[in-house]
Structure 1
Amino acid sequence: MSVFRSGLLVLTAPLSALSLRLVPILTSASRIVEDTLYVHLQPGLSLTGSSQPRSTYVPATPEVYSLISKLYADADAHSHLDVRVLLTNIRNQSLMPQSLSSVQNLSHPPEVILTDFQTSDGGQYNPVKQRLERYATSCYSCQPNLMSVLLYPEYEPMMQEMEPPSWEPALDGGTLQSYRDVVVGGTFDRLHNAHKILLSACCLLAENRLLVGVSDKDLLENKMLKELIQPYGQRVEKLCEFLVDVKPSLHYDIVPLVDPCGPSVTDPDLECIVVSEETRKGGVTVNKKRLENGLSELAVHEIQLVKDPGRGVNEEGKISSSSIRQRLLGTLLQPPQKDPARPSRPYVIGLTGGSGSGKSSIAKHLECLGAFVIDVDKLGHEAYAPGGPSYNWVVEEFGEDTLNEDGTINRKVLGAKVFGNQEQLKRLTDIVWPEIAKMTQKQLDEAAGLGKAVCVLDAAVLLEAGWTSMVHEVWVAIVPEQEALRRIVARDGLSEEAARSRLQSQPNNSQRMRQSHVVLCTLWEPEITRKQVEKAWALLQQRISQD
């Protein structure tokens, strides 16, 4: 079977049966679709007989919402699939049924149609498949030359001998309460299946407008691995694409959220706020402030958190963006630029990081794995030493008062002369950095002569000095600023103020990451760092072998 980038899964079995069969259905679909999988719920759809299949409205009942939640939760086992349950034909009781005659445009038009439709016509599937294709194209925009596949769960063989029972939406009660305008807030970083459950609930509850506050600026400061959070614009783009795909009939207002409450406490048209178990208190706070502002309270609709079956060490028990960001550590975040003039062997990694980042411990792990490590920071000390290539020039430029009694350069005295003075600092780096680069290149040439496959340049100022031309990839070690401060104070005996000044004189994590290909974090136990490095090393070996 060919693999398609996008597909449409039309589920026809009764909801109670679907709940049991979602895992094998998704597993089968994941072997055929590799990117975006749209899901259309249409219990009781008939693909036999002479009449043209038509889409009917499904009532927005708690049972339907539970099925949607389970579908997203089960889909988390197939991380390559971007699953999107289409809600256009799922209607709340308070909404007037309308014609489903128009074709809905999808951001990733399906290339293949899949269904759980069961047939016992002796293998004569073509008429059913053709009707399925016509049905799908009557509902959604699809790619030309559309193909269709009938999926059969391997277990529950009885279902193969049963036609789906007739089913009509019962709109006489039991549907979810709906509200004209609904509000929800969140970071929505790397949109995942728990987000999709939350947003689906919002879309099912909203009749007219969904107001979405997307956390930004100060609200991101305390997030785990905040540097890996996608930019606001990128998060909004993905959010808009998902929402317009699943329910284009709603009006979406997406606004930056720079305080915990945002417009939820000032918008008089809002009727309902959707929260999770852990943001319940936020809903209470919103209503308190609304009353203070002379506005009516909002109905609070709470959804349950979704457990993460693939939870790793130090990750949250729920499906969360922070866990996803942790899993990005050690992976290639952006492809390296290939320079034809740079030798392919040895493959050179530039390892950098700020004070207290744990860069040196990462270099030791890489050395144990087989990398040839060049301590560029140590070469810098040699460049300053008597007889070193920079020694005489530095003394001439900055004076003999920078010397100790034994003739060595007092780096503290020299540092005091250049610290906070960009002009003086540039005078110094213009002397020292080119010489360190020459010494580093000499060691790289020696490593090449020895047949070393991978070299690591352990260099704190790799980016500032412009030495990236010597490396194939840049790897950066990071920790939160408070942890870096704690380590510097404990290691170097500095005051917190002095440690903070040192950090502020260096590029911050975000600035380094913009020029990096792989990120590693030493915040947790040494064993966690070791596993990160082993993961990064294994992925590096794959890249090298492919090249």
Structure 2
Amino acid sequence: MAQNMFKYAATVANIYTIASNVLMPLDVRILLTNLRNPHITTINTKKPVEIVIFDRTYSKNEMDAIIQNCILNTSFSCGFVTCDDEKVEDENTTNENIDSLQAWKLYKNVVLGGTFDRLHNGHKIFLTEAIIHCSQKLTVGVTDTNMLSSKLLWELIEPCSNRIMNVKDFLEDVDSSLIYDILPIDDMYGPTKSDPNLDMIVVSEETERGGEKVNEYRAKLSMNILDIHIVKLLSDQKSKPYEEKKISSSNQRIRLLGRRLKNPDFCRRHQRPYIIGLTGGIASGKSSVATKLKGLGAGLVNCDEIAHDLYLPGKKCFDLIRTTFGQTILNKEGFIDRAILGNIVFNNKEKLTELNRLVWPIILEEAMSMVNKLYAEGFEIIVMEAAVLIQANWGHRCHEIWTCIIPAKEAIQRVMKRNALTEGEIEKRIKIQPSNLDQVRAANVVFCTLWSHEVTYEQVERAWNDLQKYLKHGAQS
């Protein structure tokens, strides 16, 4: 039995590895229900089956019969592939694997944890090895929101409820004979700190120390020590220099940058000009993105530049601001001193609200005037760059919202290099703006300027090309 179990685990890893290198983004799922229950002859999966891989050679008629009679949820064009079972066995029972083979055993209660964002083939190997080791109940802890902030682009991580559902669907597809307990966790220990019935914990190569910490914690509570099973990481042969070398959710999130996360309002896509509201927090790189979009052919309206102009003597905002905040905000030349004004409003929420109430409608009016002017000059797509786009509720004037995000620590470092502000002053300004998570929730497309200009340009060009395809399709529909 142990040898058969090991053979299945090795075969599973091989298939998922091949799938990552050749079959992406196909959702491959290796089903193991009849491993423990050979009498089960029907398979009913959460998603329609598109391709079936047989472990031995059958005739076409035999394979068609199996697909039609045994698989209850198939797509219209379900196909099949065969592989040589004897060859797989020879490859996976070599001497170099003998230690793993000897160590392989079953446990009644197995536990593992992870983020499981956008379930990928590395996750599938991880979960499947836990299934193969388990004879009764598999407990899975899924990291909740307060454990995510240290992860790269954590704002793009799927909601915990979605991740739990995806893990549940996958596990029940792979082996419906086990009991599954899938729950959110708010610390690294999860159910291991309270469940005395657990026998083994599954960890990856990089989280082995976490398994040891779990046992140290259980020892303090006089609970049984868990056996630890370590799963090898799956290398990502398509990774770029700024990505991780393993198959990871972080890489998947990086590859979402510049992609449309949600579609714009379908009813408005024929309206022209097509307005993109470009926003982002302080020092997020939105001006760099705006410049790149301009170079690709977009018209550009910079609301920050409009505000600077409207603050000048004789312009619409000048008298309103001076009357409201007094002569002390003027410098010796009679201009509004933005540093003095900023010190007032960023330390007094009511004052900031009053300033915004005065200037936001005027800035938007001027911005839309410039949009119409650029459209008259022949620009079909116009980018309206506005740091306050979300909090000013200008999104309704745009077809789409594109946003730039960077970690707060990086924003602070960038601002300190270019402005004479203290870290505390910068943190105050970051706290009053929408969070990265709020920015992402409002956005159709997200950029991150954490890497080189070349990487940012790849994101911008991807978004621009996708927009061209979208508008072309919309014009024909």
TM superposition score normalised by structure 1: 0.78
Name the CA distance, whole Å, in 1 between partners of 2:377 and 2:167: 51
Specify the code of the residue in structure 2 equivalent to 1:358.
G
Name the CA distance, whole Å, in 2 between partners of 1:504 and 1:150: 55
Out of 24, 27, 36, which is 1:79 matched to?
24
Specify the code of the residue in structure 2 equivalent to 1:322.
S
Name the CA distance, whole Å, in 1 between partners of 2:143 and 2:362: 46
> 2:354 maps to what in 1?
427
Specify whether residues 143 and 188 from structure 1 end up closer, same or farther in structure 2 by C-alpha distance, changes over 3 A only: closer
**1:142 and 2:73 correspond:** yes
Specify the code of the residue in structure 1 equivalent to 2:156.
L
> 2:6 maps to what in 1?
62
Name the CA distance, whole Å, in 1 between partners of 2:115 and 2:447: 22
> 1:89 maps to what in 2?
34
> 2:443 maps to what in 1?
516
Out of 254, 267, 283, which is 2:211 matched to?
283
**1:415 and 2:355 correspond:** no
Specify the code of the residue in structure 2 equivalent to 1:107.
K
Contact kept, 8 Å, 1:179 with 1:207, in 2: the verdict is: yes
- Alpha-carbon deviation of 1:163? 13
Pick 1 or 2: higher relative contact order, CA cutoff 8 A, min separation 6: 2
Name the CA distance, whole Å, in 1 between partners of 2:312 and 2:293: 28
- Alpha-carbon deviation of 1:58? 11
Out of 456, 468, 477, which is 1:541 matched to?
468
- Alpha-carbon deviation of 1:217? 3.1
Higher mean C-alpha deviation, range 376-385 or range 525-534: 525-534
Specify whether residues 152 and 212 from structure 1 end up closer, same or farther in structure 2 by C-alpha distance, changes over 3 A only: closer
Specify the code of the residue in structure 2 equivalent to 1:88.
T
> 1:492 maps to what in 2?
419
Name the CA distance, whole Å, in 1 between partners of 2:113 and 2:352: 46
Contact kept, 8 Å, 1:113 with 1:147, in 2: the verdict is: no
Does the residue aligned with 1:524 lie in a helix, a strand or coil? coil
Specify the code of the residue in structure 1 equivalent to 2:278.
L
**Percentage identity across aligned positions?**
38
Q: How is 1:246-325 mapped onto 2 (pairs within 5 angstroms)?
A: 246-325=174-253
Name the CA distance, whole Å, in 1 between partners of 2:277 and 2:64: 56
- CA deviations 1:205-257 (Å, max 9, x no partner) are 11111111111233212101111111111111111111111111111112222
Out of 210, 213, 217, which is 2:141 matched to?
213
Contact kept, 8 Å, 1:332 with 1:517, in 2: the verdict is: yes
- Alpha-carbon deviation of 1:333? 0.6
Larger CA Rg, structure 1 vs 2: 1
Name the CA distance, whole Å, in 2 between partners of 1:163 and 1:511: 54
> 2:373 maps to what in 1?
446
- Alpha-carbon deviation of 1:150? 5.4
Specify the code of the residue in structure 2 equivalent to 1:65.
A
Specify the code of the residue in structure 2 equivalent to 1:79.
M
- Alpha-carbon deviation of 1:98? 6.5
Name the CA distance, whole Å, in 2 between partners of 1:86 and 1:343: 46
**1:225 and 2:153 correspond:** yes
Contact kept, 8 Å, 1:268 with 1:295, in 2: the verdict is: yes
Higher mean C-alpha deviation, range 205-214 or range 463-472: 463-472
Out of 329, 345, 349, which is 2:276 matched to?
349
**1:242 and 2:186 correspond:** no
**1:128 and 2:55 correspond:** no
Specify the code of the residue in structure 2 equivalent to 1:323.
N
Higher mean C-alpha deviation, range 259-268 or range 499-508: 259-268
Name the CA distance, whole Å, in 1 between partners of 2:3 and 2:148: 38
Specify the code of the residue in structure 2 equivalent to 1:73.
T
- Alpha-carbon deviation of 1:183? 0.6
- Alpha-carbon deviation of 1:405? 3.0
- Alpha-carbon deviation of 1:80? 2.8
Name the CA distance, whole Å, in 1 between partners of 2:372 and 2:274: 12
> 1:107 maps to what in 2?
46
Out of 433, 457, 462, which is 2:389 matched to?
462
**1:372 and 2:299 correspond:** yes
Specify the code of the residue in structure 2 equivalent to 1:377.
D
Instruction: Give 5+ residue unaligned stretches, structure 2.
Output: 88-100
- Alpha-carbon deviation of 1:337? 1.6
Specify the code of the residue in structure 1 equivalent to 2:376.
G
Specify the code of the residue in structure 1 equivalent to 2:46.
S
Query: Structure 1 or 2: larger helix share?
Result: 2
Does the residue aligned with 2:23 lie in a helix, a strand or coil? coil
> 2:93 maps to what in 1?
none
- Alpha-carbon deviation of 1:452? 0.9
Q: How is 1:142-181 mapped onto 2 (pairs within 5 angstroms)?
A: 142=73, 149=79, 151=81, 176-181=104-109
TM superposition score normalised by structure 2: 0.89
**1:388 and 2:312 correspond:** no
Specify whether residues 449 and 437 from structure 1 end up closer, same or farther in structure 2 by C-alpha distance, changes over 3 A only: same
Name the CA distance, whole Å, in 2 between partners of 1:61 and 1:117: 18
- Alpha-carbon deviation of 1:328? 0.4
Name the CA distance, whole Å, in 2 between partners of 1:106 and 1:151: 18
> 1:35 maps to what in 2?
none
- Alpha-carbon deviation of 1:415? 2.8
Does the residue aligned with 2:316 lie in a helix, a strand or coil? coil
Does the residue aligned with 2:33 lie in a helix, a strand or coil? coil
- Alpha-carbon deviation of 1:457? 1.1
Contact kept, 8 Å, 1:116 with 1:150, in 2: the verdict is: no
Specify whether residues 195 and 111 from structure 1 end up closer, same or farther in structure 2 by C-alpha distance, changes over 3 A only: closer
Name the CA distance, whole Å, in 2 between partners of 1:334 and 1:381: 33
Q: How is 1:502-513 mapped onto 2 (pairs within 5 angstroms)?
A: 502-513=429-440
Name the CA distance, whole Å, in 2 between partners of 1:233 and 1:193: 20
Q: How many residues align?
A: 460
Name the CA distance, whole Å, in 1 between partners of 2:2 and 2:40: 12
